[in-house]
Amino acid sequence: MTAIADGLDAPAAFRVDLDTIFVSLELSKSTWLVTSLAPGSDKMSRRTIAGGDIDGLFACFAQLRTKAQERQGKLYPLVVIQEAGLDGFWIDRVLGRESWIESHVVDAASIAVSRRHRRAKTDRIDGEMLIRTLMAYTRGEPRVCSMVRIPTPEEEDRRRIGRERKALVAERILHVNRVKGLLFSQGIRDYEPLHRDRRKRLDELRTGDGRELPGNIRAQICRELDRLELLLEQIKAVEGERDAMAIPGAMGTSAPMAMLLGLKGIGPEFAATLHSEGLFRHFDNRRQVAAYAGLAPSPWQSGSIDREQGVSKAGNPRLRTTMVQLAWLWLRHQPDSMLARWFQDRVTRNGGRLKKAMIVALARKLLVALWKYVTAGVVIEGAAMKAA
């Protein structure tokens, strides 16, 4: 019974009456596993092709259609599913060009799996699970999984600016800390690698026991400064591209970014991140906005148990982090706004406690308010605007 529950020895027979060939793709760097279920067959078939071989994938699809036509006398369309992952969305875009292929990209975390502590997991089992999920979704069960909304190439490319800057800043911190650590071992504590006079200041340094810097450690620090200066130039270039996005007519993003920049407390980096990571998307309601950022609540209710587990953290982590940071800044720069007064009132009623929990709630409310502001022009009550 355990083996059947885990799906290892369970019968693989399915009833296919949707006049469609269902295909799942398990993608890896070296190989692609193609699992399919066609009308007229009660078993899933599997084929392995080389990773990245899109021509081989289409040849496999053509073979599946031909075999199904020989059995049923009809040429069937394909419905293909794959998990969102390292390969991005280029495969979905290629498949979407064909009129006889319906392509979907699914959020892997939204698919229900066995709750056993040691559940079996192989590409074969995952491929079959994707087929079952796709069939349920095609039958009209939208809650069975969450399909990813595919961004346009322009929208996807626009996000690179903010993400590249974040990577460059993290690398800059790494080099700064390395220089400071090397000098700390020599008894030097007051050197700042980011100051403009860093080269001149390096020549004047003396160790804690009064010596000049040894030759090898000095050479290493100079090479670290070379890399640091290159990073500073690249960060400046990326920030220039980011600021150009707010210029009218630049990449079609001027209106939302300009509106966000008009609010006191929101700078170019926050405005670019908010727009490129979330607010450019279409949402039907505020719940979808909060869920996309991972700021939606996660209740745990079963029988007499009823408690909250906190925010889901299932959405965009960059947007969620930015909103929590912005919530703290909002209290400083917008103290007279309705949202800031709501936060202060709730904290006061709690006796000054639970500030961290309340700041997350403020971040959720602020994100919804900003979404209404950039999409419908609803001004946040009491919010101050920057001077012209």
CA 48 to chain centre: 29
Measured CA to CA, the distance from residue 137 to residue 106 in angstroms comes to 11
Encoding tokens for residue 126? Answer: 């995952």
CATH number at residue 16: 3.30.420.40
Average pLDDT, the chain: 90
In a shared domain, residues 118 and 21? yes
Rg of the Cα atoms in the chain: 27
Q: Which of 216, 244, 272 is the last residue of a domain?
A: 244
Identify whether residues 127 and 172 lie together within a single domain.
no
Question: pLDDT by residue (tens digit) across 156-201?
Answer: 999 999 999 999 999 999 999 999 999 999 999 999 999 999 999 9
Residue 249 falls inside a structural domain: no
Task: Tell me what pLDDT residue 136 has.
Answer: 93
* Residues 191 and 80 reside in one and the same domain: no
Q: Is the pLDDT of residue 254 over 80?
A: no
Q: What is the mean predicted confidence (pLDDT) over 269-291?
A: 92
Question: Is residue 383 one of the residues assigned to a domain?
Answer: no
In a domain, 344, yes or no: yes
Instruction: Quote the pLDDT of residue 3.
Output: 43
How confident is residue 5, by pLDDT bands cut at 50, 70 and 90?
very low
Task: Reply yes or no on whether the pLDDT at 6 is more than 50.
Answer: no
CA–CA dist 227, 230 (Å, integer): 5
Q: Is residue 387 part of a domain?
A: no
- β-pair partners for 367: none
Whether residues 16 and 136 share a domain: the answer is yes
CA-wise closest residue to 162 among 246, 227, 264: 246
What pLDDT, on a 0 to 100 scale, did the predictor assign at position 209?
Answer: 92
Tell me: the pLDDT tens digits for 341-375? 999 999 999 888 889 989 999 999 999 999 999 99
**Is there a single domain that holds both residue 72 and residue 91?**
yes
Output 7 or 326, whichever has higher pLDDT: 326
* Host H or E run for residue 37: strand 31-37
Residues in the chain: 388
Spatial contact of 53 and 60, defined as CB atoms under 8 Å apart: no
The pLDDT of residue 11 is 45
312: confidence class by pLDDT, cuts 50, 70, 90: confident
Domain-located, residue 384: no
Segment 22-78, tens digit of pLDDT: 999 999 999 999 999 999 888 899 999 999 999 999 999 999 999 999 999 999 999
The last residue of one of the domains, among 144, 173, 206, is: 144
Q: What is the pLDDT of residue 40?
A: 85
Tell whether 178 is covered by a domain: yes
Decide if 357 is inside a domain: yes
pLDDT of residue 237: 97
**Cβ atoms 111, 143 nearer than 8 A:** no
- Residue 142: what pLDDT? 80
96 is a domain residue = yes
User: Quick one: what percent of the chain has pLDDT higher than 70?
Assistant: 94
**306, 349: one domain:** yes
> Does residue 208 share a domain with residue 329?
no
Asked if 79 and 197 sit in the same domain, the reply is no
Query: Are 190 and 60 within one domain?
Result: no
Q: Is the pLDDT of residue 251 over 60?
A: no
Residue numbers of the domain that contains 78: 2-144
What is the domain count for the chain?
Answer: 3
The structure's pTM equals 0.83
What percent of the chain shows pLDDT beyond 90? 73
180, 293: one domain: no
Q: Are residues 219 and 304 in the same domain?
A: no
Quick one: 134 and 229 in the same domain? no
Residue that is last in its domain, among 244, 265, 295: 244
Mean pLDDT of the 225-239 span: 97
